[in-house]
Structure 1
Amino acid sequence: MRLIELLRVLRFGIVGLVAAAVHYWVVIALVELVDIAPLRANVGGFVVAFWVSYFGHRHWTFADAVATHAQGAHPSFLRFLMVALLGFCMNELLFYLLLRYAGWPYYLALAFVVFTVAVMTYVLSRLWAFRHAAQP
């Protein structure tokens, strides 16, 4: 693995951990403090974490690829939004299944789901959402 890609993976991990922590704690706060059902609170956690993730990845993880893109941030934002929405659909489905059929406590199911979906998000972000014009 090239050094630049290794650094990108490290930056992705840091931004991802911060976004995952934000997602997790927003859900916990909404469930425990506002008494919102976990599946609904998960939507709020996703919305807040999406912005943390987008700005972190755009301005730090994939800054080299985005900076050289002739059209600026708009295409990468739309692609990242699509990646994030796909990830959230997978997140919500897996969260539902673990709550409904496996009987996991919501805070354990949420932790498992948030980190499981991160791998797919990295691959799609790297190969599609934040690729620059010269990449396939």
Structure 2
Amino acid sequence: MPITFIRRTFSRELIVQLLVFGVVGVLATLTHYLVALFSYEGLNLSLYFANLLGYLSAVLVSYFGHGRFTFKQSFRWALFVRFSVMSVTTFLCSELMLVGLENYAQLPARFSLAVVVCTIPIVTFVLSKLWVFKP
């Protein structure tokens, strides 16, 4: 039944785009983790600086992956600037959501994090499709 609903609601192109978006997102997440881990454990950098390097690496993987494979755009500085603005903005929004859910709504950290992890990719996809990589 859910498969039938998805087929009736979304075009084939959108479904493929969402799947590719997910694959690129997983690759970017792995890049973030592995670069940060190597920078921290292998290069003896501070954890926070290592995390920053991992994040910046993941932004590049995301930009090139989503640009080339998800939204089929060629590299342009204007797109990269918009992508960077979106990336930083959604990161800050995720932090604000965590603060609000954990401190004001007093929800458990696990639940708060789950809400953020499920919400931010949806927002990122919509912003990418309608603003960053808009044809």
TM-score range, shorter chain: 0.5 to 0.7
Contact 1:46 1:88 in 2 (8 A): no
Unmatched segments (≥5 aa) in structure 1 = 105-111
Q: What's the offset of the Cα at 1:36? A: 2.8
In 1, the alpha carbon distance for the partners of 2:131 and 2:13 equals: 18
After superposition, where does 1:33-48 map in structure 2 within 5 Å? 33-48=42-57
Question: What secondary structure does 1:131 align onto?
Answer: coil
- Where relative contact order (Cα < 8 A, 6+ residues apart) is larger, the structure is 1
Query: What is the TM-score when the length of structure 1 is the normalising length?
Result: 0.67
In 2, the alpha carbon distance for the partners of 1:52 and 1:83 equals: 15
In 1, the alpha carbon distance for the partners of 2:30 and 2:117 equals: 10
Are positions 1:85 and 2:94 aligned together? no
Unmatched segments (≥5 aa) in structure 2 = 1-9, 104-108
Q: Structure 2: which amino acid aligns with 1:50?
A: V
Contact 1:27 1:45 in 2 (8 A): yes
- Count of residues paired in the alignment: 114
Q: What's the offset of the Cα at 1:19? A: 0.7
Q: What's the offset of the Cα at 1:24? A: 1.0
Query: What is the TM-score when the length of structure 2 is the normalising length?
Result: 0.67
Are positions 1:7 and 2:16 aligned together? yes
Identity of aligned residues (%): 32
What is the RMSD of the two structures over their aligned residues, measured on CA atoms? 3.2
